[in-house]
Amino acid sequence: MALNARFVGSCSGRIAPMRSFVPITIDATWVAVDMAAVREIGGPLTWIALPTASAVLPGVTAWRGRAVAVADLAAVLGSGERLASPTGRVRTLYLQHGTSSLAVPVDTVREPLMIADDDIRPSRVRTDAFCLGEVDVEGHTTLVVDLGVLLPGYRPAAAAAASVPD
Amino acid sequence: MVHVHDPRVRWCVHASQVVRIVAAAEWLAAPAIDVLAALGPVSGTATHRVVVVRGAGDRETALLATGMIEINDVELTSVLPLPDTLAATAPEVAAIILAPDASLSLLLQPSAVIPRDDSAS
């Protein structure tokens, strides 16, 4: 897919720090993932369930000659149909956070966009650690997330944390 | 490797760790362990055998094997160790095996499989 980013947000005259995000959907929920973490966008995933895994990281898949954890965004969000091994969803995002990788099956991947940090407002409905805020994309309230928090020992980027007021 | 085509998830163990394979009814030493129990119950019509392996403390441990059993070689490059992210939550799984048809199976680590009588204490 083309990785040209378009701009979303207000033009207040002041230049605010901007980052590129990839909007994705999972059932009816819109989510935006920081483009800096995205290593690959692929098709459907084949994965295998682990007997003692969590609902959020239910299994594992092979990617680039390595085994990587599979994240179930429906379980993370607490809504939507859960993943069922061995098939994933139509598209897969492969994310890199530090030395750890994650495969995240999703329903759709939209065109990347640029979002000014100032335009990420605190989420009205979510207080979860992975949720940095929300922004409007194509008329949909879209959660801006940092899925790195699903990984043990992960430290969120300072820039991401700075965009969310206490 | 000894592969078990369990309908829930395919799994395998190193052949060198297998002591013997017997019908489940013939294994009377201790209850066989269903390593995949958390993934759902086994089919009532499935053939049950046990794969007896050298487990923790070099003790014989019986793993319930539902489905076809197959022995074959696996390329070392097809053995992908579990990432640190998951290793702590699934200590009984050492790696996944990537088959030539891109299907996956779990490589179990018998020494990390805890018999029920041990886990209860």
Is this prediction's pTM over 0.95? no
Annotated domain spans of chain B = 2-119
**Nearest-CA distance A45 → chain B (Å):** 10
pLDDT band at B68 (very low <50, low <70, confident <90, very high): very high
Tell me what pLDDT residue A98 has: 86
Is B18:B107 a contact under the CB 8 Å cutoff? Answer: no
**Nearest-CA distance B86 → chain A (Å):** 7
With an 8 Å Cβ cutoff, is B112 touching chain A? no
With an 8 Å Cβ cutoff, is B96 touching chain A? yes
Tell me how far apart the alpha carbons of residues B51 and B107 are, in angstroms, rounded to a whole number. 14
Tell me what pLDDT residue B43 has: 72
Chain B residues with CB-CB distance to A85 below 8 A: 9
Task: Give the mean pLDDT of chain B.
Answer: 89
Which of A123, A126, A91 has its CA nearest to residue A110? A91
Mutate to test the interface with B, among A46, A47, A60, A151 (most CBs of B within 10 A): A60
With an 8 Å Cβ cutoff, is B76 touching chain A? no
Chain B residues with CB-CB distance to A151 below 8 A: 85
Low-confidence stretches of chain A (pLDDT beneath 50): 1-2, 158-166
**Cross-chain Cβ contact A65/B77 below 8 Å:** yes
Chain B residues with CB-CB distance to A101 below 8 A: 83
**Nearest-CA distance B116 → chain A (Å):** 15
pLDDT band at B45 (very low <50, low <70, confident <90, very high): low
Show the DSSP H helices in chain A as ranges. 73-77, 158-162
**Cross-chain Cβ contact B89/A60 below 8 Å:** no
**Nearest-CA distance A3 → chain B (Å):** 28
Which CATH number does A16-36+112-153 carry?
2.30.30.40
Chain B residues with CB-CB distance to A61 below 8 A: 104
Decide which of 3.90.650.10, 1.10.760.10, 3.40.390.30, 2.40.50.180 is the CATH code for A38-108: 2.40.50.180
Choose among A46, A48, A51: nearest Cβ to B35.
A51
Tell me what pLDDT residue B115 has: 67
Beta strands in B26-82 (DSSP E): 48-54, 60-66, 68-71, 79-81
Tell me what pLDDT residue A157 has: 58
Annotated domain spans of chain A = 16-36+112-153, 38-108
Does residue B24 or residue B118 have the better pLDDT?
B24
Tell me which chain A residue has its CA closest to the CA of residue B87. Answer: A53
Tell me what pLDDT residue B40 has: 86
Which amino acid, one-letter code, is at A82?
R
Which residues are CB-neighbours of A157 under 8 A, at least 6 positions away?
A: A34, A146
